[in-house]
Chains A and B, each alone.
Chain A
Amino acid sequence: MNTDELISLLATGVEPVDARARTRGVALALAAGLGAALLLMAALLGIRPDLASEARLPQFWLRELFCAALGLIALVGARRLAHPGTPLGLAPLALAAPLVLMGSAAAYVLLEAAPQSRLDLLMGQTARVCSMLIALVSAPVFVAVIWAMRRHAPTRLRLSGAAAGLASGGVGALVYTLHCPELAPPFLAVWYVLGMLIPAACGALLGPRLLRW
């Protein structure tokens, strides 16, 4: 088949592209991933019984904001990476902002704290399991984001996988906060970030295989 014949084949009877239906599909997939993550967390770990009283603390909302910001910014980055020729723009810089803010808050809290309480601020009660649980809860979101990306055309597969992983890590961490008792910035800056980096690393590792088209 020569190229003119191919052009004719591709053009003949071409259907209009329904951008809205596609956006709806992606939104549905992400909602399903979020729902599955919530179910997984509720079934496996349970929602904190004192969530309502904890939600009155400003630190609670700072933690929510931190996770949501990282998840959303990474999602914006993933979306741009899924559209060829769309520059990443300020997404990497924006991603650094919550990390720098949380890191600074952590350093400030540690410096202000009495020396004997610093280790507690860093390790909390759940340092040993926190990162793994965030990674676990983010798994359904990871599947959803990768599925959505596969419907597009990422050309930088490793970076795209990492962005997809980080996005799912952020959302997974957000879901995990409904169970997690830790609010101290040093704890969040280390164990939450590590928990989000696990799916990001998985994404970078698997991206070339999962996202190839």
Chain B
Amino acid sequence: MQTSEERLRGLLLRGLAGDEAAYRMFLNDLTAHLRAFLRKRLAGLPDEVEDLVQESLIAVHNQRHTYDPAQPLTAWVVALARYKLIDLLRRRSRQDLLHDPLDEDSEQLLAVDGEAAEARRDLAKLLDTLPERQRASIVCVKLEGLSVAEAAKRTGMSESAVKVGIHRGLKALAARIRSGA
């Protein structure tokens, strides 16, 4: 686990500095940990696991600036995932299905689960409901892989507007998930 914590932390720190390949690897490896973590705690709601994995990934991404490098990465991820988990349970107001108590102990993201179930919520559809400037920015840069400059040229927006569009769009996506869309 020690090595896993260190490896993930190293990848994230490089990702925070803008290293896309390291960030991709970080998200990839983290996903298996998140899935195992959430599956164990959502034993009563197996259908929700993959949706919550995706929601947690978006949270990790949107809040990546809140990672304090002086703290263990595991504690940060677990805090984010627990927050999203509690949010989900509250949304469903089915707290009785919670099999594991959500105690404060710094749980380790020890286990790995590489087997993805189908997500029930289709993020692609949700993406289509975003305001046009946000949607276009995300589609150009994030899905088609254009640079920010190319996306700006294509959409007729300024480069900073594209960046803001991506940022706000991903926040809006998280908000739509939260409101149960």
A3 touches B66 (CB 8 A): no
Most chain B CB within 10 A, of A3, A16, A82, A153, is at: A3
The CA-CA distance from A78 to B67 in the complex, in Å, is 15
A179 within 8 A of partner (CB): no
B71 touches A14 (CB 8 A): no
B116-158 interface mask toward A, CB cutoff 8 Å, 1 = contact, 0 = none? 1011001110010000000000100111011110000000000
The CA-CA distance from A213 to B17 in the complex, in Å, is 24
A19 touches B54 (CB 8 A): no
Q: What residues on A are CB-neighbors of B145 within 8 Å?
A: 12-13
Residue on A with the closest CB to B83? A155
B79 touches A155 (CB 8 A): yes
Q: What residues on B are CB-neighbors of A118 within 8 Å?
A: none
B18 touches A3 (CB 8 A): no
B28 touches A7 (CB 8 A): yes
> Which residues of chain A from 6 to 40 have a CB within 8 Å of any chain B CB?
6-17, 19, 22
The CA-CA distance from A10 to B77 in the complex, in Å, is 16
B156-179 interface mask toward A, CB cutoff 8 Å, 1 = contact, 0 = none? 000000010010001000100010
Asked, given contacts A13-B141, A13-B145, whether A85 binds B78 with beta carbons under 8 Å apart, the answer is: yes
B63 touches A152 (CB 8 A): yes
A116 within 8 A of partner (CB): no
B57 touches A12 (CB 8 A): no
- The count of chain B contact residues (Cβ–Cβ below 8 Å) is 55
A1 within 8 A of partner (CB): yes
* B108 vs chain A, min Cβ distance (A): 12
Asked, given contacts A3-B54, A84-B76, whether A10 binds B20 with beta carbons under 8 Å apart, the answer is: no
B10 within 8 A of partner (CB): no
Asked, given contacts A84-B76, A85-B71, whether A3 binds B83 with beta carbons under 8 Å apart, the answer is: no
B47-82 interface mask toward A, CB cutoff 8 Å, 1 = contact, 0 = none? 000100110011101011111100110111111101
Most chain B CB within 10 A, of A2, A17, A84, A213, is at: A84
Chain A interface, DSSP helix/strand/loop, else mixed? loop
Q: What residues on B are CB-neighbors of A2 within 8 Å?
A: 116, 118-119
Asked, given contacts A14-B15, A83-B68, whether A6 binds B79 with beta carbons under 8 Å apart, the answer is: no
Asked, given contacts A14-B23, A83-B71, A84-B63, whether A1 binds B123 with beta carbons under 8 Å apart, the answer is: yes
* A97 vs chain B, min Cβ distance (A): 24
A86 within 8 A of partner (CB): yes
A11 touches B23 (CB 8 A): yes
Asked, given contacts A84-B80, A85-B78, A155-B79, whether A6 binds B116 with beta carbons under 8 Å apart, the answer is: no
The CA-CA distance from A13 to B118 in the complex, in Å, is 26
A12 touches B63 (CB 8 A): no
* A76 vs chain B, min Cβ distance (A): 13
Contact of B57 among A6, A19, A82, A212 (CB under 8 A): A6
Q: What residues on A are CB-neighbors of B61 within 8 Å?
A: 10
Asked, given contacts A12-B20, A13-B142, A85-B77, whether A7 binds B31 with beta carbons under 8 Å apart, the answer is: yes
Q: What residues on B are CB-neighbors of A15 within 8 Å?
A: 18, 163
B16-50 interface mask toward A, CB cutoff 8 Å, 1 = contact, 0 = none? 11101001100110010000000000000000001
The CA-CA distance from A86 to B71 in the complex, in Å, is 6
A84 touches B83 (CB 8 A): yes
A135-156 interface mask toward B, CB cutoff 8 Å, 1 = contact, 0 = none? 0000000000000000011010
Report the 5 A-B pairs with minimum CB-CB distance, sorted nearest first.
A16-B18, A85-B75, A84-B79, A85-B76, A11-B24
